[in-house]
Structure 1
Amino acid sequence: MGAVLLLVLLSGSSLAGKGYSILHDRVVVRSRAHWEGWTFPQGTLEIGEEGVRPKFVRKNVNACLDAGRFVHEVDKKQVDLFPGAWYDSKERKWFARGGIMRAGSNPEGAPAIMDGDPGTFWEPNLDDPVGNWWIEVDLGRLVCATKIVLKFAEQGDPFLQFKVFTSTGERAFELSSAMNYVLAGQTKGPNKTKKVFEFELSPTEASDENWVGRAVQYIRIVVTDSDGKRAELVTEQEYRSLPPGWRGAVDYIWKVAGEERVVTKEEYEDLPPEQRGGIRYYRRERPRLAELEVWTLGENVALDILKRGGSASDPNKMAVPAYAFDGLLTTWWKAAAYREVGYGAGWGLLTVDLGSKFWIDTICYVLKRGKYTEKGVLNGYCTRVSDGSRAPDGSLIWERISPKSREIIWDDMWRLADRFEPRKVRYLEFRNLDILEKRPRTYTPLIYAGNVGELQLYGEGYVPEVVLTSPIIELGGPKNLTSIDW
């Protein structure tokens, strides 16, 4: 890992500025405020009071913890599903921020399940019907999730029975605003003791052998049953010692004809002694979900390409390659099958500048199902990467990382992945191929295009190199610089 510092010096009258201080015979850059005044690719540095260092990109990340960092576009037909959505008049689009999307009960307490603190929790309003005990989470971007974990509070009860669903954000039906949710896990019977549930995720679409997990952006948790006021049978003394909110039902039992019936207190007191079956005291159920964890392959470094000063281009001006990196499956890059001659020549060749170098070992391709006669699948492709090294003629030196077998894909698949040894990557080139000419020779390129919803890049390690550029440093007059220390 490393950092390259570029100093821009200018003789002038000012003795201090944003990004530095001048102390006697020295130019000093050492505080957080100083470093934040320099320019560098966004998200590649960690800045503290002690200085700066390249960011460490991680694998196996809980996507709930930073969901609020992501803002995404909302389908205008689904705006009602996002109570916190807002309209940007300049962009003429609706947007929402990741986090709690909706809750059928106690929405104020819902954010506690995403704060990483096991001591906080979401508890549905006990006076609400169980049918309202549900919660929806927006991760802020599409992730490749491998596991969902629910952790219930130590001081409380787990949900007696519940189900967990996931969604990519796609609509259930073309004319519907509802999202298409798919079951991810559920209880297999009433549960009163287990406090941690883990649900391994498998793909919901046809996928290749390298794909792991499930494409997910939204999670819906639905409580399906509760013991309500009869969570646990306790003694009268234990009942009296409970806080008022924990006291449940008190049942007066009438024993008659070999049966037991619950009656009112007044009716019980009127019964003859031999028909009094006793009084039963219960602790009330306090269902409390402390944490929701959505474990993913890692940090997808492709998400912030444009913010880092990178780019994504396709010679086809009608296509929007940036849609393959916006974290949404409701938008997509229409990748025409590459051809070298004829109408659409050169289309379907995606060239990407990540804006900085990263260690990469996995590339995931999430495809969007097409409509009507448009499948949206890839019939083949070739992916190459470069660390920015140049050949003698100045061109980039490319390395192919997709296997030769990827040039022809025989089966329709909507989830693909390439895995390889970690390497430094700054540039990526993706070429959509149709060697077998499954599409008609006379086709209109965009009608039979592959719909690349997301192209995700994963790896682990410190950002290999970061270039920081100072603001103009005004020395207040001609100076001789004799040394630079760090």
Structure 2
Amino acid sequence: MGAFADELRLERQSDWDSWTFPQGAVIPNADGTIGLSRIDKDTDAGLDARAFQHASKSQKEPIPGGIHVVGSGTATADNLIDGRSDTWWQPDSADVVEDWFVEIDLGRMVLAKKVRLTFPDTLDVKPFRTFSVFINDGVRASNTRDVFVFSRVGQVTEPNTERVVEYDLETVVTGAATGEHLTTGDGDTLRFMRTQHVRFVVEKHQPNAALAKIEVITIGDNAVLGSVERGGGVRGGTDKGNLLGLVDGDKNTVWTISGTADWIDSGHWFEIDLGATYWIDEAYYHLRNFRGDIPGNFELTTSDGSEAVGLTQNRIRSPFDFLHLSTIDNTFTPPRSVFDLNFSSRKARYLFLRRINVPECSQCLLTTFTDLYLFGQGYVADAVMESDFIDLGGTKSIRRLTWDADLPPGTFIEIRSQTGDTFLIERKFYSKSGVDISEAQWNKLPSSQKQDIVEIQRRGSDWSGWSTVYSSQDEVFLSPSPRRFAQLQVRLGNDDPDVAPLLRNIVLHFDDALISGGVQSRVLPREAAFDSLQSFTYVIKPTFRFGDRGFDRVVIQVPDQVGDVEISVGGDPVVPLAVEMIADSLRIDLPELIQRDSVEVMFQMRIQQNATVFNGWVSVVGDPLQQGMRPEDQHSTTVFVPSVATGGALIRAVVVTPLMTPNGDGINDEAQIRFALAKIEATSPVVTIHDLSGRTLRIVAAVDGGHSWDGRDDGGQLLPPGSYVCRISLLADVGERTVYRIINVAY
């Protein structure tokens, strides 16, 4: 992290070391840039076999994939998975042919489409002429030992002379389940086999023969693998100690559901968080050991992490907007165990699966999930990284944030900031599967089912919270300043899987604070009546230290126009040099530099929104550096409107012309419709005119902030004399509010 005079630069690989990011999804490159990884189709699982680990009966610690067993030629066996054709494995000609074999452990189970053998073809080294290829899906034949049963998938029946030999792999599907995007029906074949171990066996002694490569071509990279390492995980309603078996790529670890009660009561659901958002177009899961009338009908949904509106499904699913993927009906005989779904590419970070309640199921239901895989192609669609708390080395005023990046069309980078001065220490407790649990739950778990306690440095109450997104690559710093500490959040993503952004650097530009001890503020009174003209006092309390520059300009963010502004410094009235409203802020220039006293600003205004916050800044006239003020106490710069907070009328001060004469003489030709709204989360108000039967005649549009009706319907026809209903409606987060008034029309 480079700091030069008045800036802090993040642009070297080491500058990102303290950041938290989804491992393997966000890539810190050697040149200091930050990019996104990708998942692909038709990948060779042998090339990265060593990057995956799995449990072993022979060792306490997980073992990596790679060359598992070699009968002869140990020194050259690694050449089989180095991706090169000019290196090879060659058994020792002095060894018996029974030892001429090699076995690859892919480190995880994959859905393999083919095994491709590449032989050298030189004057001195030739392809093997007789051999067999075997595979195993990783399932042990013994509960106590690493013993595996292999199936032959390829064998040379005639002496081989080819340099490249391929064996396609297929799985026959039994069971006639139905569901959207389900690939095949009963008796059809899937284009892959479950594979973790591949064994190559030479059947006849052949001097000067060798094998250059064993490639295991798969459906593609499984996005589920690495979910926990990326900060995601899996949670579910039952068999919680085995949930990790759904995302570990090990077919020996399983998750089991049993019982026939409601899916919520039985806990027959799970939700996987990938830790980042991927483009996916294929899902696969496998059931086994099912008993009962129905092995399980299931619904699958996915979410890209967008927040949901309203309640989530029975409050079990996370509060995100989920998109339906498929409803699997598995009530047929025989039931189906393998499910492969292909669909249009979609963004997904979360997958939620639940059992569908089936009333006919009367016997005990028992179903075991061995694995769930997600595949796709393209760069990571969305990932978030956060800095550690950045110590600025003292209280600093951050002026600007700049950043540089490559942003191809269809990509985006969003940066947010927050600042503060104090910290708290929080202890977190996690199950083995990465689920956040309570301390009491953690204490009850055996050590094998829980992770170590994690102590996390949390932001104190003086932290600002995340700013809005920086809208340009050179912008005024959006978080309160000066502060001692800052934190940054970067979101990288795309709307096109073929492109990705590349972040080159982030720079914070800062100065020493104008008032090194900080500036506190409060507003009085703390409560106000709705839309009532009222006097307020904004108190500014700086803490000066030797060498501080001081300030002579005050800016206060206000919700409306202000009037009757008065200033006092150290308790004495002063005449300001200038008082001006700039957009939503009141700006005051003081007659002299303030270097020791407090300042009070008195003004009058109306408030229509509950919990109105008055933020403030001080500066020196002519200098762009601004120093933010901190509330003296929690909410001390917030004014509350009790009548709004307690659900009072949201549509207020309604004034509607009771009688109109639309005869074109310019007198009372229009009915004026005026009202005030409490400022809450709401849509725009809708004003409509109805006859006494309730039929809508006119929708009245707002003009210059108000509404007026000319006595005509939506077709432009003058309505006959009579009484009409004016309806003013507002749809807010607390519900719909409606006010009615009568307008009489006469000629």
Q: TM-score range by the shorter chain?
A: 0.7 to 0.9
Q: Equivalents in 2 of 1:127, 1:158: separation in Å?
A: 18
1:43-192 matches, within 5 Å, as: 43-48=24-29, 49-74=31-56, 76=57, 79=58, 86-88=59-61, 95-155=62-122, 156-172=125-141, 178-191=147-160
Q: 1:318 to 1:50 in 2, by over 3 A?
A: closer
1:250-269 matches, within 5 Å, as: none
Q: Deviations over 1:260-316 (max 9, x none)?
A: xxxxxxxxxxxxxxxxxxxxxxxxx31111111001111101011111111211122
Cα displacement (A) at 1:485 = 2.2
Aligned to 1:471: 388
Cα displacement (A) at 1:324 = 1.0
Instruction: Tell me if 1:214 matches 2:136.
Output: no
Q: Equivalents in 2 of 1:471, 1:315: separation in Å?
A: 34
Q: Equivalents in 1 of 2:293, 2:74: separation in Å?
A: 38
TM-score (norm 2): 0.49
Q: Equivalents in 2 of 1:200, 1:352: separation in Å?
A: 31
Q: 1:476 to 1:107 in 2, by over 3 A?
A: same
1:196-215 matches, within 5 Å, as: 196-203=164-171, 206=174, 209-210=183-184, 211-215=190-194
Cα displacement (A) at 1:53 = 1.1
Q: Which has the higher strand share?
A: 2
One-letter amino acid of the counterpart of residue 396, structure 1: F
Q: 1:25 to 1:177 in 2, by over 3 A?
A: closer
% identity of equivalent residues: 29
Q: 1:360 to 1:335 in 2, by over 3 A?
A: farther
Structure 2 residue runs without a partner (length 5+): 176-181, 185-189, 312-318, 405-747
3-state secondary structure, aligned to 2:381: coil
Cα displacement (A) at 1:377 = 8.6
Aligned to 1:411: 334
Cα displacement (A) at 1:423 = 0.7
Q: Equivalents in 2 of 1:68, 1:414: separation in Å?
A: 30
Are 1:120 and 1:290, in contact at CA under 8 Å, matched by a contact in 2?
A: yes
Q: Equivalents in 2 of 1:53, 1:356: separation in Å?
A: 13
Aligned to 2:284: 364
Cα displacement (A) at 1:457 = 0.6
3-state secondary structure, aligned to 2:399: coil
Q: Deviations over 1:107-154 (max 9, x none)?
A: 221111001121111001111111111111100001011011000112
Aligned to 2:620: none
Are 1:377 and 1:450, in contact at CA under 8 Å, matched by a contact in 2?
A: no
Are 1:408 and 1:435, in contact at CA under 8 Å, matched by a contact in 2?
A: no
Q: Equivalents in 1 of 2:48, 2:67: separation in Å?
A: 12
State which of 2, 8, 12 in structure 2 corresponds to 1:31: 12
Cα displacement (A) at 1:378 = 3.6
Are 2:121 and 2:127, in contact at CA under 8 Å, matched by a contact in 1?
A: no
1:366-385 matches, within 5 Å, as: 366-367=286-287, 369-370=288-289, 374=291, 378-385=295-302
Q: Equivalents in 1 of 2:218, 2:350: separation in Å?
A: 24
Q: Equivalents in 1 of 2:200, 2:239: separation in Å?
A: 42
Q: 1:121 to 1:436 in 2, by over 3 A?
A: farther
Are 2:299 and 2:354, in contact at CA under 8 Å, matched by a contact in 1?
A: yes
Q: Deviations over 1:153-185 (max 9, x none)?
A: 123111111110110122346788531211111
Q: Equivalents in 1 of 2:118, 2:362: separation in Å?
A: 49
Q: 1:327 to 1:219 in 2, by over 3 A?
A: same
One-letter amino acid of the counterpart of residue 397, structure 1: D
Q: Deviations over 1:49-95 (max 9, x none)?
A: 15011112211110000000011112x2xx3xxxxxx324xxxxxx2
Are 1:338 and 1:348, in contact at CA under 8 Å, matched by a contact in 2?
A: no
Structure 1 residue runs without a partner (length 5+): 1-19, 80-85, 89-94, 229-284
3-state secondary structure, aligned to 2:305: coil
One-letter amino acid of the counterpart of residue 338, structure 2: R
Aligned to 1:483: 401
Cα displacement (A) at 1:37 = 2.8
Q: Equivalents in 1 of 2:294, 2:39: separation in Å?
A: 30
Q: 1:36 to 1:407 in 2, by over 3 A?
A: farther
Aligned to 1:91: none
> Which moved further from structure 2: 331-340 or 196-205?
331-340
TM-score (norm 1): 0.73
Q: 1:197 to 1:160 in 2, by over 3 A?
A: same
One-letter amino acid of the counterpart of residue 159, structure 1: F
How many matched pairs? 382
Q: Equivalents in 2 of 1:45, 1:199: separation in Å?
A: 35
Are 1:162 and 1:222, in contact at CA under 8 Å, matched by a contact in 2?
A: yes
Aligned to 1:457: 374
One-letter amino acid of the counterpart of residue 140, structure 2: R
Cα displacement (A) at 1:318 = 5.1
Cα displacement (A) at 1:375 = 8.4
Are 1:71 and 1:97, in contact at CA under 8 Å, matched by a contact in 2?
A: yes
Are 2:330 and 2:336, in contact at CA under 8 Å, matched by a contact in 1?
A: no
Aligned to 2:229: 307
Are 1:303 and 1:326, in contact at CA under 8 Å, matched by a contact in 2?
A: yes
1:227-266 matches, within 5 Å, as: 228=206
Are 1:383 and 1:429, in contact at CA under 8 Å, matched by a contact in 2?
A: yes
Q: Equivalents in 2 of 1:460, 1:337: separation in Å?
A: 38
Aligned to 2:583: none
Q: 1:178 to 1:476 in 2, by over 3 A?
A: closer
Q: Equivalents in 1 of 2:155, 2:6: separation in Å?
A: 68
Aligned to 1:316: 238
Aligned to 2:321: 397
Are 1:408 and 1:436, in contact at CA under 8 Å, matched by a contact in 2?
A: no
Are 2:232 and 2:274, in contact at CA under 8 Å, matched by a contact in 1?
A: yes
Are 1:380 and 1:409, in contact at CA under 8 Å, matched by a contact in 2?
A: no
Q: Equivalents in 1 of 2:292, 2:67: separation in Å?
A: 33
Are 2:299 and 2:328, in contact at CA under 8 Å, matched by a contact in 1?
A: no
Cα displacement (A) at 1:353 = 1.6
Q: Equivalents in 2 of 1:111, 1:376: separation in Å?
A: 49
Are 2:242 and 2:253, in contact at CA under 8 Å, matched by a contact in 1?
A: no
Q: 1:220 to 1:204 in 2, by over 3 A?
A: farther
Cα displacement (A) at 1:409 = 4.9
Q: Equivalents in 1 of 2:73, 2:173: separation in Å?
A: 34
Q: 1:431 to 1:34 in 2, by over 3 A?
A: same
Q: 1:456 to 1:418 in 2, by over 3 A?
A: same
Instruction: Tell me if 1:351 matches 2:271.
Output: yes
| Larger relative contact order (Cα-Cα within 8 Å, sequence gap ≥ 6) | 1
Are 1:55 and 1:462, in contact at CA under 8 Å, matched by a contact in 2?
A: yes
State which of 319, 327, 352 in structure 2 corresponds to 1:429: 352
Q: Equivalents in 2 of 1:377, 1:476: separation in Å?
A: 65
One-letter amino acid of the counterpart of residue 127, structure 1: A
